[in-house]
């Protein structure tokens, strides 16, 4: 009995130590900047945006430019309204279970959260079309060069889980999406304790040679470098 108690106490101690280190790393590492001398406000070839809903971040890009037509992967036809007048599309990566089974926090199930935290679930893209983007406390405009945009484009495309013909795979949403102009697509990778939706967005900015955190789990880890 004493051996069992000792082992249990040791396991609990390891769990507490792990959680402590995890929380400490999550709080401190985002302060370490990447590309800190990049001037994201200087005029360049085009403007993209990093947008947060308070928890989750999206990379927002023009739907069509001379360097990229995102309708090759994200179609207006996959939305409810199918309105092709929308000029921007927000692209967010995340856990497929969260996206499709948890339209609100009240719908969150333990099984969904457990799979997401442990990397046992698959991932998806959530794409949302916008007519206009107005920078505010939750949205930062980033002016970038066409060369940086090409690198951002490649990073995003490589995360799509494409079919045999190189096309994106649309996911019909059981919850009919979050709005009238959004759609879901199959993606590569697994959401987990160390790689969240915001980690993906942060890595997208790093791929585009923009200001970012060395590593972050939260949207605040990105936005602190743009304030």
pLDDT at 150: 97
Contact between residue 219 and residue 54 where contact means Cβ atoms under 8 Å apart: yes
> Helix, strand, or coil here: 84?
coil
* Average pLDDT across the chain, whole number: 90
Element (H, E) at 52: strand 46-52
Does pLDDT of 105 surpass 80? no
pLDDT at 30: 96
Distance of alpha carbon 184 from alpha carbon 75, whole angstroms: 10
Question: Does residue 125 or residue 227 have the better pLDDT?
Answer: 125
Structure tokens at 152: 């951002």
Does pLDDT of 123 surpass 90? yes
Contact between residue 157 and residue 149 where contact means Cβ atoms under 8 Å apart: no
pLDDT classification of 104: cutoffs 50, 70, 90: low
Mean predicted confidence (pLDDT) in 189-207? 96
Distance of alpha carbon 200 from alpha carbon 57, whole angstroms: 9
pLDDT at 20: 87
Question: What pLDDT, in 10s, does the model give residues 14-64?
Answer: 788 878 888 898 999 999 999 999 899 888 899 999 999 998 999 999 999
Distance of alpha carbon 20 from alpha carbon 122, whole angstroms: 27
pLDDT at 175: 62
pLDDT at 15: 81
**32 exposed, middle or buried (CB, 10 Å; 0-12, 13-18, 19+)?**
middle
Does pLDDT of 107 surpass 90? no
Question: What pLDDT, in 10s, does the model give residues 129-175?
Answer: 999 999 999 999 999 999 999 999 999 999 999 999 999 999 987 66
Please tell me the least confidently modeled range out of 3-17, 150-164, 193-207.
3-17
Distance of alpha carbon 124 from alpha carbon 149, whole angstroms: 22
């Amino acid at each position: 009995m004493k051996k069992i108690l000792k082992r249990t106490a040791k396991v609990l101690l390891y769990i507490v130590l792990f959680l402590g280190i995890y929380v400490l790393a999550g709080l401190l590492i985002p302060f370490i900047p990447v590309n800190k001398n990049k001037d994201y406000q200087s005029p360049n070839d085009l403007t993209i945006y990093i947008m947060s809903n308070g928890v989750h971040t999206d990379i927002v890009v023009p739907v069509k430019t001379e360097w990229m037509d995102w309708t090759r992967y994200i179609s207006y036809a996959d939305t409810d309204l199918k309105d092709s007048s929308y000029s921007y599309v927000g692209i967010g990566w995340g856990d497929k279970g969260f996206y499709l089974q948890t339209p609100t926090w009240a719908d969150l199930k333990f099984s969904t959260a457990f799979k997401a935290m442990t990397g046992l679930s698959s991932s998806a893209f959530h794409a949302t079309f916008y007519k206009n983007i107005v920078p505010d406390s939750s949205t930062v405009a980033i002016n970038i060069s066409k060369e940086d945009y090409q690198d951002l484009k490649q990073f995003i495309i490589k995360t799509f889980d494409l079919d045999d013909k190189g096309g994106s795979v649309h996911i019909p949403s059981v919850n009919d999406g979050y709005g009238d102009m959004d759609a879901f697509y199959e993606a590569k990778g697994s959401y987990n304790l160390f790689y969240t939706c915001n980690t993906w967005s942060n890595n997208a900015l790093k791929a585009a040679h923009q200001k970012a955190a060395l590593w972050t789990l939260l949207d605040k880890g990105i936005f602190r470098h743009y304030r």
